[in-house]
Amino acid sequence: MNEVVIKTNMFDTAGLSSAVKAVDGLLEHASRCRASDIHLDPRPNGTTVRMRVDGELEAVGIMPRKIHEETISRLKILSGARTDVHAIPQDGRFRTDLGGTPYNLRVSFMPTYHGENAVIRLLNASSSCADTFAVLGFTPDHVVMLERALKAPNGLILVTGPTGSGKTTTLRVCLGLKAAEPISVMTLEDPVEYEVPGVRHVHIRESYGVTFASGLRSALRQDPDVIMVGEIRDNETARTAMNTALTGHLVLSTLHTSSAVETILRLSDMGVERYVSAATLRLVVSQRLVRAICRECAGEDGGCGACRGSGFSGRSVIAEVLEVDDGLREEIVRNGSMKAIRDYALSHGFRPISDDGREKVDWGVTTREEVIRALDA
């Protein structure tokens, strides 16, 4: 992938004004490039600037060492972090408009040998961003299953996959669909990433004793119909989420597993009884993100201006979606092995994620190499 070069006049003056220019220029450049993250890594002779575009880190340029500290201070002021603290990690957040589009930005500061580094996460806050499953890349049959599960009055819907596989974005679409109904929708997140109109977002703060499990118990007193739990991390959260789903609530959450079938066994490993999993699970989605072939140049050698020579522009979901029907519930309660559960699912129309990846290649959405890379990650 070609290296992107930042305009040199972005860092041309000294003092606070250059730090303001540097931050503004970096954010504007990141927005134009559709970057999800900006990395500022201090080195002896300058600060290495990189941006993550379509999941890949790209070298951007070198920021002069003389404005590094002022730039870090500027980011701390914007994000509400303490400017007088340098020896411990800090996190902050702020909101801004870039090119007419609203963004929520999260900033993480970390002390390193050559000074504090910063990583800025850019989250498109536009209500029109990724507002349907089809836009994300889900196939029509997957969309039908997702929408069917969301119509249920109770139960548990899980979205699984490794870090950076788009789980939160998929849940955002789920929340948007439910928030359009005359019901009460709440989320418990650490941190809150996307704000969805009509949804009450709660920031989990474990340093204050507010965990996902305790927050979920408190949320039940708020009379919700739908609750999104940012992540099921432990036995207590898993059991509390399951009990919530059993008592007439629709619960959405995420779990770090590599496949939809493995998710069922993972819940068992976390201490959830098989009969409870069988009674509560409605749907399990396992997903990855692949870079999408640029529509302007169709990925031809050399690319084009729209994809900045990479041949790729944007990303698409590849996924497997497992509906839990009565037969599968019986298989789960029977303490079936992963093979037994998978064989049942395959015999009843389940398509593994590799099949979806091959289909996306056949449709010209992505490349075989991208699918292999995503599934091997």
Query: Is the same domain home to 82 and 149?
Result: no
Residue 349 structural domain: 133-376
Query: Is the same domain home to 310 and 166?
Result: yes
Query: Is the same domain home to 95 and 206?
Result: no
In a domain, 43, yes or no: yes
Query: Is the same domain home to 119 and 137?
Result: no
Q: Model confidence at 310, in pLDDT bands (50, 70, 90)?
A: confident
Residue that terminates a domain, selected from 69, 94, 124: 124
- Judge whether 287 and 244 are in contact, CB under 8 Å: no
Query: Is the same domain home to 51 and 146?
Result: no
In tens, the pLDDT along 75-114 reads 999 999 999 999 999 999 999 999 889 999 999 999 999 9
Query: Is the same domain home to 147 and 222?
Result: yes
In a domain, 13, yes or no: yes
In tens, the pLDDT along 351-362 reads 999 999 999 999
Domain CATH for 152: 3.40.50.300
Q: State the angle between helix axes of 260-269 and 338-347 in degrees (0 to 180), rounded to the nearest 10.
A: 150
Between 256 and 5, where is the model more confident?
256
Q: Comparing C-alpha atoms, which of 292, 311, 278 is closest to residue 136?
A: 292
In a domain, 342, yes or no: yes
The DSSP letter of residue 128 is: T
Mean pLDDT over 341-357 rounds to 96
pLDDT of residue 159: 98
Query: Is the same domain home to 211 and 232?
Result: yes
In a domain, 2, yes or no: no
Query: Is the same domain home to 99 and 194?
Result: no
* Rounded Cα distance, 181 and 178, in Å: 5
Query: Is the same domain home to 96 and 38?
Result: yes
Instruction: Count how many domains the chain has.
Output: 2
DSSP string for 215-259: HHHHHGGG--SEEEES---SHHHHHHHHHHHHTT-EEEEEE--SS
Residue that terminates a domain, selected from 87, 105, 124: 124
CA torsion 265-267-269-274 (nearest 10°) is -70
Determine the Cα angle at 89 with ends 37 and 119, to 5°.
10
In a domain, 3, yes or no: no
Q: pTM of this prediction?
A: 0.87
Mean pLDDT over 233-252 rounds to 93
Query: Is the same domain home to 272 and 343?
Result: yes
Single-letter code of the amino acid located at 344: Y
Q: Model confidence at 190, in pLDDT bands (50, 70, 90)?
A: confident
In a domain, 1, yes or no: no
Query: Is the same domain home to 156 and 235?
Result: yes
Query: Is the same domain home to 325 and 231?
Result: yes
Residue that terminates a domain, selected from 68, 89, 124: 124
Q: Model confidence at 193, in pLDDT bands (50, 70, 90)?
A: confident
Domain CATH for 51: 3.30.450.90
Helix (H) or strand (E) holding 293: strand 281-293
